[in-house]
Amino acid sequence: MAELQNDRFLRALLKQPVDRTPVWMMRQAGRYLPEYRATRKQAGSFMDLCRNKELACEVTLQPLERYPLDAAILFSDILTIPDAMGLGLRFATGEGPIFDNPVRSLADAKKLYVPDMASDLGYVMDAVSTIRTNLNGRVPLIGFSGSPWTLATYMVEGGSSKTYSIIKAMMYDEPATLHHILDVLADSVIAYLNAQIQAGAQAVQIFDTWGGVLTPRDYKEFSLNYMHKIVDGLIREYDGRKVPVILFTKGGGQWLEAMAETGCDALGLDWTTDIDVARARVGDKVALQGNMDPSILYASPERIRQEVATILEKFGKGSGHVFNLGHGIHPEVNPEHAGAFIRAVTELSGKYHQ
């Protein structure tokens, strides 16, 4: 593999000195870019795009052609694991993901298995190695997975949900069934992320998109415990380099201390927790990634630059900050505004690292 020319993202995650704050965006390869929409059309469907290593590589690299980003993130979907378990995933226009065979009972749960990473999910690893080769050392490549709790919400609900009524009823009435599902998912995520690392991912992120819908007690039991299990099972050094692990629970600001105890390297922050408060709470235990409200990108470039300056000032001096949005970029954002955001980070952050 080519020598890494820009490693400031990996260094910041490990709290090592950097010349400026690194920046990337969740969903940076996506619908806000006209070139992405063109490639997606060419692929035919979203999952066909994920399964075509050349096209997945193309869309992963598109934002890097436009912006001076410090990392690329694998183009894929969090639902690849449940899809590989044979739950009949499809994407309905305007409805999001739907599972034709949801997991609703202990009998359903007992049919779940850890997918074979080479045969069932080999297309993801092919995409990882293709992207890594094409990056040619420009920036590091991030691999990712959904958290067990987040994957389970889709698998049990049968798709997206506003109330989580089915999975929460299972959690309260049949906790053993849900624990069985989460256990199989945690084992699957460990195998999946380790396979991504062996294929070329240089850092990994666990997206716990729906952890914030739980009570503190239930978050620890049904979400955090399983992420902890994953962190314990991951390859943490590969190819002569440490492989940093980022945990991101949307709406999880109240649990930062507990998340930092898992042994991860960094915590993703959404926009509902101030970064100075988060830094004071976790100290030097972990790096922090985030946390600008994605909706700021609807504002003028001047206002975006102001917000970047505010967040940089709040984090303050020293390493351990990866600048990102507090969640993914919205599809309607003007690409010029995304460019203004990234440019502001690269221009304004140097003084915090002298």
Instruction: Output the DSSP codes for 130-184.
Output: HHHHHHTTSS-EEEEEE-HHHHHHHHHHSB--SS-HHHHHHHHH-HHHHHHHHHH
Select the more confidently predicted residue: 2 or 173. 173
Q: Which helix (H) or strand (E) holds 207?
A: strand 203-208
Question: Is the residue at 30 inside a domain?
Answer: yes
Please tell me which residue in 40, 51, 279, 305 is annotated as part of the active site: 40
Helix axes 175-199, 122-135, angle to 10 degrees: 40
Whether the Cβ atoms of residue 43 and residue 49 lie closer than 8 Å to each other: yes
pLDDT score for 93:
77
Total domains present in the chain: 1
- pLDDT tens digits, residue range 32-61? 999 999 999 999 999 999 999 999 999 999
Residue 287 assigned to a binding site: no
Query: Across residues 74-101, what is the average pLDDT?
Result: 94
Work out the percent of the chain whose per-residue pLDDT is above 70.
100
- pLDDT tens digits, residue range 291-341? 999 999 999 999 999 999 999 999 999 999 999 999 999 999 999 999 999
pLDDT score for 216:
98
CA distance 157 to 142: 29
Residue 31 assigned to a binding site: yes
Q: Where do the H-state alpha helices sit in 236-274?
A: 256-260
Residue 116's pLDDT band (cuts 50, 70, 90)? very high
Catalytic status, residue 27 = yes
CA distance 224 to 212: 11
Residue 198 assigned to a binding site: no
Residue 256 is given by DSSP the state: H
- pLDDT tens digits, residue range 249-292? 999 999 999 999 999 999 999 999 999 999 999 999 999 999 99
Question: Is the residue at 316 inside a domain?
Answer: yes
Residue 29 assigned to a binding site: yes
Residue 202 assigned to a binding site: no
Residue 230's pLDDT band (cuts 50, 70, 90)? very high
Task: Please state, rounded to an integer, the average pLDDT across all residues of the chain.
Answer: 97
Dihedrals φ, ψ of 23, to 5°? -140, 140
Catalytic status, residue 276 = no
pLDDT score for 107:
98
Per-residue pLDDT for 168 more than 90?
Answer: yes
Residue 341 sits at the vertex; the CA angle it makes with 336 and 345, to the nearest 5 degrees, is 145
Question: Is the residue at 2 inside a domain?
Answer: no
The contacts found for 261-270 with CB under 8 angstroms, 24 or more apart, are: 261/228, 262/224, 262/227, 262/228, 262/231, 263/228, 263/231, 263/232, 264/227, 264/231, 265/13, 265/14, 266/13, 266/322, 268/205, 268/324, 269/326, 270/326, 270/327
pLDDT score for 246:
99
**Cβ-proximal residues to 294 (8 Å cutoff; 6+ apart), any chain:** 271, 325, 326, 327, 328, 329, 330, 333
**Domain range for 140:** 8-353
pLDDT score for 179:
98
Query: Across residues 87-94, what is the average pLDDT?
Result: 88
Task: Write the burial class of residue 92 (CB in 10 Å: 0-12 exposed, 13-18 middle, 19+ buried).
Answer: exposed
Residue 90 assigned to a binding site: no
Catalytic status, residue 31 = yes
Question: Is the residue at 324 inside a domain?
Answer: yes
Catalytic status, residue 173 = no
Q: Which helix (H) or strand (E) holds 56?
A: helix 53-66
CATH number at residue 250: 3.20.20.210
pLDDT score for 95:
80
Whether the Cβ atoms of residue 137 and residue 3 lie closer than 8 Å to each other: yes
Question: Is the residue at 1 inside a domain?
Answer: no
Please tell me which residue in 154, 192, 219, 226 is annotated as part of the active site: 154
**Cβ-proximal residues to 18 (8 Å cutoff; 6+ apart), any chain:** 8, 11, 12, 319, 353
The closest alpha carbon to 135, from 56, 43, 195, belongs to: 56
Please tell me which residue in 8, 11, 27, 132 is annotated as part of the active site: 27
Question: Is the residue at 248 inside a domain?
Answer: yes
CA distance 267 to 288: 5
- pLDDT tens digits, residue range 296-307? 999 999 999 999
Catalytic status, residue 154 = yes
The model's pTM = 0.98
- pLDDT tens digits, residue range 188-216? 999 999 999 999 999 999 999 999 999 99
**Cβ-proximal residues to 348 (8 Å cutoff; 6+ apart), any chain:** 305, 308, 309, 312
Strand partners of residue 90: 98
Residue 92's pLDDT band (cuts 50, 70, 90)? confident
pLDDT score for 94:
77
